[in-house]
Amino acid sequence: MDEDLIKKITDISETLLIPLYSRAAESQTENPILIDTKAVEITKELNKIFETSDSSLYQTLSKGKTRKKLGKKLNVTLALRTRKFDKYCTSFLKKNPEGIIVELGCGLSTRFPRIDNGALTWYDLDFPEVIDIRKQFFKETQRYHFISSSVLDFIWMEKIQNKHKNILFIAEGLFMYLHEEEVKNLILHLQKTFPGCELACEVANTFIVKMLKRRMWRKKFQRDFHLGKNASFYFGISDSKDLEKWNQGITFLNEWTYFDDKEKKLGWINIFGKSKKFRKTQWIIHYQLK
């Protein structure tokens, strides 16, 4: 593992490490929500570098303190989120076994080997520095591809082959870090370039974005999650159908919140599921872009 690759990770890209370590930690609990053996393998390799790093985040992760430092329920919520995105993928593949799935801002996702049906085509897209790290742990094949690009540099869309096939785009933990105009332009380009495609994306609520505009709350958010000064939420919506207003043909299909699975591991946090406001602090929405 090349230590210089780790040093290239920007403040924004550092957010890819927390989901990875949370999945690995949850996988090793009793009755895990998600079993991610690849995440366990990757974290063991990263720890060899992180344990000697000056970064407080890397130290926290390498010493297995995610539950203490990042919140006892963090592993649970991120595992629930990942499991739901897995289900969106498997449901799509049941209808389109030879379809295409593109993971936008893939980070260190390990989804492809978990849901591979032996026939789909998969693209993982992220910043070049992130893809360079992915190449340490994954190998491209005829059906599994990397795209080194910002999601906002729309030239990457030309690299998706067989555009006539049914396509699902997934965005887990991505849109909230972008600005509204960026998210809007991205979705409109997807709609224009891949008409009829599906999109499953995680979104944050507008009230969370407004709260993080306040310096005090933004600093707390960055401190609690050991993130850099550029890491914050910038895009939010208040209703799942808000994006339909952006263009004709953007069609809401369904939604999912962290409380829909009635997961016992969430414990007292389940009480927020009874609140109309807090039920949708962050949630997943499924659209078709006709």
- Single-letter code of the amino acid located at 11: D
- Report the b/e string of 53-66 with b at 16+ CB within 10 A: bebebbbbbbeeeb
- Looking at residue 148, the DSSP 8-state letter turns out to be E
User: What's the whole-number mean pLDDT along residues 181-191?
Assistant: 98
- Looking at residue 121, the DSSP 8-state letter turns out to be E
- What's the fold here for domain 91-289? Rossmann fold (3.40.50)
More confident residue, 11 or 154: 154
Reported as a single tens digit per residue, the pLDDT across 58-85 is: 767 777 655 444 456 888 999 999 999 9
Is pLDDT above 60 for 226?
no
Confidence of residue 236 (pLDDT cuts 50, 70, 90): very high
Entry pTM: 0.90
- Single-letter code of the amino acid located at 275: S
Taking the alpha carbons at both ends of the chain, their separation in whole angstroms is: 43
The per-residue pLDDT for 164 is: 73
More confident residue, 16 or 43: 43
Q: Are 212 and 236 in contact (CB under 8 A)?
A: no
- In the chain, what are the domain boundaries? 3-74, 91-289
The greatest distance separating any two alpha carbons of the chain, rounded to the nearest whole angstrom, comes to: 53
The per-residue pLDDT for 69 is: 46
Give the residue carrying structure tokens 């039920």.
279
- Average pLDDT score over the chain: 87
- Looking at residue 169, the DSSP 8-state letter turns out to be E
Q: Are 171 and 182 in contact (CB under 8 A)?
A: no
Judge residue 237's burial from the number of C-beta atoms within 10 Å of its C-beta, 0-12 exposed, 13-18 middle, 19 or more buried.
buried
Is pLDDT above 80 for 267?
yes
Lowest mean pLDDT among 164-173, 218-227, 232-241: 218-227
Q: Are 236 and 205 in contact (CB under 8 A)?
A: yes
